[in-house]
Structure 1
Amino acid sequence: MELSNPFLKEPDTMTLTANMHAAASDLFAASFNHPFITELADGQLSMARFRFYLKQDHYYLENFARLHHELALKMSNPDTIAFLENEASGFNNSEQEVREEFFSQLDITANEMTETPMAPNTYNYITHMEHELNSNSACGAAALLPCYWLYNELGQHLSDVSSPVKIYQQFIDTYASPEFTAATNTMIDIVDRLGEAQSSVVQSQMIEAFLRSAYFELQFWQTAYDQANWPFSL
Structure 2
Amino acid sequence: MQSPFPIPTFALECKTFAKDSFGASFTHPFVLALAKGTLDPKVFRFYQIQDAKYLESFSDACAILSTKVSDPDDKLWLIDAARMALVVEGQLHIGYGKTLGYDANTIANTEPTPNNWAYQNHMVATVMKGSVLEGFCAIAPCPWLYIELGQHLLQEMGSIPQDHPYASWLNMYSDPGFNEYMTHLLARVQKYADLADETSKARAKMVFQQSCNYEWMFWEQAWTNQNWPSR
TM-score, scaled to structure 2: 0.91
The answer as to whether partners of 1:92 and 1:180 remain within 8 angstroms in 2 is: no
Aligned letter for 2:148?
A: E
Q: Which residue of 1 aligns with 2:89?
A: 95
Q: Which residue of 1 aligns with 2:137?
A: 142
1:75-224 pair list within 5 angstroms: 75-91=69-85, 93-135=87-129, 136-160=131-155, 161=157, 162=160, 166-224=164-222
Question: 1:104-152 deviations in whole A, cap 9, x for unaligned?
Answer: 2211134433442110011000111112112222211110000011001
1:70 lines up with 2:57 in the alignment:
no
Q: Using a 3 Å threshold, how does the CA distance of structure 1 residues 163 and 206 change in structure 2: closer, same or farther?
A: farther
Runs of 5+ unmatched residues, structure 1? none
- How many residue pairs are counted as aligned between the two chains? 227
Q: Using a 3 Å threshold, how does the CA distance of structure 1 residues 231 and 6 change in structure 2: closer, same or farther?
A: farther
Cα root mean square deviation, aligned: 1.8
The answer as to whether partners of 2:28 and 2:219 remain within 8 angstroms in 1 is: yes
In 1: Cα distance, 2:98 partner to 2:184 partner: 31
Query: How far off is 1:51 after superposition?
Result: 0.7
The answer as to whether partners of 2:5 and 2:180 remain within 8 angstroms in 1 is: no
SS in structure 2 at match of 1:227: coil
Question: 1:160-199 deviations in whole A, cap 9, x for unaligned?
Answer: 4236763412101111223322112211111111111111
Q: Which residue of 1 aligns with 2:42?
A: 48
In 2: Cα distance, 1:192 partner to 1:211 partner: 17
Runs of 5+ unmatched residues, structure 2? none
SS in structure 1 at match of 2:229: coil
The answer as to whether partners of 2:6 and 2:183 remain within 8 angstroms in 1 is: no
Q: Using a 3 Å threshold, how does the CA distance of structure 1 residues 163 and 118 change in structure 2: closer, same or farther?
A: farther
1:7 lines up with 2:3 in the alignment:
yes
SS in structure 2 at match of 1:117: coil
